[in-house]
């Protein structure tokens, strides 16, 4: 990186401090530290003054979100990107906030949006947009990943706003979370209108989940479902997962011969919705701070309702969904 040269008065917006055609560089944090110290360590050839200018110029991102606070806290597994051009903030768009308090924030994630950054995409993610939303009013604000939804799955996505809350939720997830409800649209008519699926799953060499013949080298996945409606060779299911295995709904339902529609990873089902037929409609948890119940809900997507009910009203068998709670 070239040495920084101070601007003259009335010179206008600062130009990027680094100009290169080389790709941005991303580093994984190994121990808790602050942003300035971490960037100084990764740029040993730069003076502290120049490192400060690089950070202030929005050329550093954490989890894909630009950060300009020198004392910003970093924790193990955080990903810090040093960019060759200033990183613009991402405006929160089509990300309704379902619930927010001092410790957590939940959004209604649309299908087609990544929860967090991937090797191929670091900019357009729910994490990035919500991080930018929080830091607009408080540069020291942080967002922490608690769980994830697949890119093509829509619905309730929860983040923590401090490290302590994240650790409590992740370490005691099965005790804190009492309900994880999904709507799933699958091919065919279910032989059993409601059932509990128990399978051992393992991840193969292609990073896809498979049903194992036994428990060795695999983990138990438990999924309950009830048939809500059937129409035109498709079934709408109310699914409750008891374990949090990767892709468990898609894999277990597919293993019964009823693949989730629009699923291009498992099987070759039809795609009537032009999206994955999976929506996380409910996440109920006990607050790790005060023990009260927090019931987070997202309404059934319009295309799901239209496909089965036509009139836009959800007519589940004996069930009335009250929608999101604020």
User: pLDDT category, 21, cuts 50, 70, 90?
Assistant: low
CATH architecture of 25-82: Roll (3.10)
* 150 classed as catalytic: yes
d(CA 93, CA 115): 14
Residue 35 pLDDT level (bands cut at 50, 70, 90) = very high
Q: What proportion of the chain, given as a percentage, has pLDDT over 90?
A: 68
What CATH number should be reported for the domain whose range is 177-308?
3.30.2350.10
Expressed in percent and rounded to 5, the helix, strand and coil fractions of the chain are: 15, 30, 50
50: pLDDT confidence band, cut at 50, 70 and 90? very high
- For residue 62, which of 3, 141, 120 has the smallest C-alpha distance? 141
Q: What is the pLDDT of residues 233-285, one digit of tens each?
A: 999 999 999 998 999 999 999 999 999 999 989 988 999 999 999 999 999 99
Res 24: pLDDT: 84
Nearest CA-CA partner of 253 in 265, 305, 284:
265
How far is Cα 116 from Cα 242, in angstroms, rounded to an integer? 23
Place of tokens 């200033």: 86
Residue 33: pLDDT band by 50, 70, 90 thresholds? Answer: very high
Q: Same CATH topology for 25-82 and 97-163?
A: no
Task: For residue range 208-222, list pLDDT tens digits in order.
Answer: 999 998 888 899 999
Greatest Cα-to-Cα distance within the chain, rounded to the nearest angstrom: 76
The catalytically annotated residue of 150, 199, 238, 263 is: 150
Statement: residue 153 has pLDDT above 60:
yes
* Predicted local distance difference test score (pLDDT) of residue 137: 81
Q: Which two tokens stand for residue 312?
A: 């836009």
pTM of the entire structure? 0.82
Domains of the chain by residue range: 25-82, 97-163, 177-308
Q: Which pLDDT belongs to residue 65? A: 87
Mean pLDDT across the chain: 87
Q: What is the 3-state secondary structure (H, E, C) of 205-221?
A: CCCCEEECCCCCCCEEE
Across the range 53-61, mean pLDDT stands at 93
Residues 116-149: tens digit of each pLDDT = 877 666 568 999 899 989 988 888 889 999 999 9
Q: For residue 82, what are the CA distances in angstroms to 2, 32, 63, 242, 296?
A: 14, 18, 11, 40, 36
Structure token pair of residue 120:
């191929």
- Is 70 exceeded by the pLDDT of residue 298? yes
Considering the domain 97-163, what is its CATH architecture?
Answer: 2-Layer Sandwich (3.30)
Please tell me what DSSP assigns to residue 56.
H
């Amino acid at each position: 990186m070239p040495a920084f040269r101070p601007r003259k008065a009335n010179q206008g917006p600062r130009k990027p401090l680094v100009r290169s055609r080389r790709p941005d560089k991303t580093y994984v944090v190994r121990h808790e530290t602050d942003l300035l110290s971490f960037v100084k360590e990764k740029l040993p050839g730069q003076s502290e003054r120049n490192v400060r200018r690089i950070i202030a110029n929005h050329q550093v991102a954490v989890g894909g979100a630009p950060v300009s606070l020198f004392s910003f806290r970093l924790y193990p597994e955080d990903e810090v990107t040093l960019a060759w051009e200033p990183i613009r903030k991402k405006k929160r768009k089509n990300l309704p906030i379902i619930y927010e308090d001092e410790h957590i924030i939940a959004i209604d994630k649309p299908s087609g949006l990544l929860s967090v950054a991937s090797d191929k995409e670091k900019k357009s993610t729910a994490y990035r947009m919500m991080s930018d939303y929080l830091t607009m009013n408080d540069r020291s604000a942080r967002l922490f990943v608690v769980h994830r939804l697949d890119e093509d799955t829509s619905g309730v996505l929860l983040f923590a706003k401090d490290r302590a809350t994240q650790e409590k939720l992740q370490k005691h997830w099965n005790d804190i979370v009492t309900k994880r409800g999904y709507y799933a649209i699958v091919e065919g008519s279910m032989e059993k209108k409601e059932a509990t699926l128990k399978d051992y799953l393992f991840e193969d060499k292609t990073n896809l989940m498979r049903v194992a013949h036994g428990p060795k080298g695999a983990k138990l996945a438990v999924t309950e479902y009830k048939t809500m409606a059937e129409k035109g060779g498709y079934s709408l299911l109310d699914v409750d997962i008891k374990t949090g295995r990767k892709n468990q709904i898609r894999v277990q339902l597919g293993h019964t011969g009823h693949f989730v529609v629009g699923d291009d990873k498992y099987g070759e089902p039809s795609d009537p919705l032009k999206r994955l037929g999976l929506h996380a409609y409910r996440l109920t948890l006990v607050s790790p701070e005060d023990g009260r119940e927090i019931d987070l809900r997202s309404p059934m997507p319009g295309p799901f309702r239209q496909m089965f009910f036509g009139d836009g009203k959800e007519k589940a068998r004996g069930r009335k969904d009250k929608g999101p709670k604020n």
